[in-house]
Amino acid sequence: MSLSARDQQVIWHPYTQMKTAAPPIPIVRGEGALLFTETGEAYIDAVSSWWVTLHGHAHPYIAQKVAEQLQTLEHVIFAGFTHPAAVELAERLIQVLPEGQRRIFYSDNGSTAVEVALKMALQFWHIQGIPKTQIIAFRDSYHGDTFGAMSVSARSTFTAPFQQFLFDVDFIDVPVPGHEEQTFAQLEELLQQNDKAAFIYEPLVLGTAGMVMYTPAILDRLVALCQHHQVLTIADEVMTGFGRTGQTFASHYLSHKPDMVCLSKGLTGGTMALGVTSCTERLYEAFLHEDKSKTFFHGHSYTANPVACAAGLASLDLLLQEHTQTNIARISAQHAAFAQQIKELAHIKEVRQQGTILAIEFEVGTTSYFSNLRDTLYNYALSQGLILRPLGNIIYCLPPYCITNEQLSHVYKAMEGMRLLLAKNK
């Protein structure tokens, strides 16, 4: 029996209608930007397997460091104990994170990193007896699938079954070009009330909204306004972190730095699950008290897992190498050149690019995530030996930094093929 057939007997896949979905493609090996099936077919992983694989698949350096850690210490409870990999990773993250981040709290994925930040923000004000309980977020944002993360994300079909269980959030529009002042005015009005605890945002790029982009200048103004009104700011850099936007973190484009930063995805180079919530010393010190009830009560069994931390250290080593930084600049330049080439062509509504993130929005009648168009584009990409995961009428490329120029050209050619396919079927 094939691996795919065995899978269908026992597995329930994420974001998949199991009744109608095609059988899963069995991947047995990865190398660089490529994934290989059990029958030897190769696919270019142009979405970094949900944005996590920074340096390519089965990277030998990360594998070596993980293997070394496994032979030394696989896990230890992180309440009352510590270990070298966790301390070193925290020290090194603080060196590269936006200015002002001083403390690292470990969790195990992006959603929980966001949950931690929200709980920190709400408890920060609770400890001081200040009634600030409302969170502000962008209307079309996505911050994860746990309940707190869903609450601060866009309300949609994905969250509809849980609507009554989500807490109320004050949403403002995304400040896309031409609408910056409208968003600023919305935030300014909300901040006249004194119940706002925090503003959480995806800096510069809203991922699942369709790689929607806005400028550092307006985000800087929004963050500054929040800080003026004593509202905490949370940068959700789960997707944008570790070079995706061209700088190590999207927050590096800003003059005003966040109070908290959420990290996951590329944190371990795609090797295994690990989450981080960093914060300022001011926020951390608010929890220091003789009264033990003011402790931050949050934790996970696999908090600061030594093997995951070792992978994080290895990934950070690779990220900071000159070779990787050169690759980030190369991919960014290639994306920018292709964006200029295709943006004026027929059936292209908009082309968006920020660093290594490229998104093309096609001009079509139906744009729903559930439309047949999404499946048409997805299957076309597979037929071209590519893994691209459309968001409705939007196709994007967010590749591993090791992707070659030849492989990028193949991605661009497929995107152009999609445009021609739409023109033919219109």
Residue numbers annotated as active site: 15, 142, 236, 265
- With H, G, I as helix, E, B as strand and everything else as coil, classify residue 291: coil
CA angle, 329 then 279 then 231, to 5°? 105
CA end-to-end distance (rounded Å), the chain: 41
In this structure, the number of other CB atoms found within 10 A of the CB of residue 233 comes to 26
| C-beta separation of 210 from 235 below 8 A | no
Instruction: Please give the DSSP secondary-structure letter assigned to residue 168.
Output: P
In this structure, the number of other CB atoms found within 10 A of the CB of residue 11 comes to 10
Please state, in angstroms and rounded to a whole number, the distance separating the CA atoms of residues 393 and 357.
16
| C-beta separation of 57 from 45 below 8 A | yes
Q: Compute the 3-state secondary structure of the chain and give helix, strand, coil in percent, each to the nearest 5.
A: 40, 15, 40
**What are the structure tokens assigned to 225, written together?**
């306004």
In this structure, the number of other CB atoms found within 10 A of the CB of residue 423 comes to 12
| C-beta separation of 216 from 204 below 8 A | yes
H or E segment to which residue 67 belongs: helix 60-70
Please state, in angstroms and rounded to a whole number, the distance separating the CA atoms of residues 355 and 2.
40
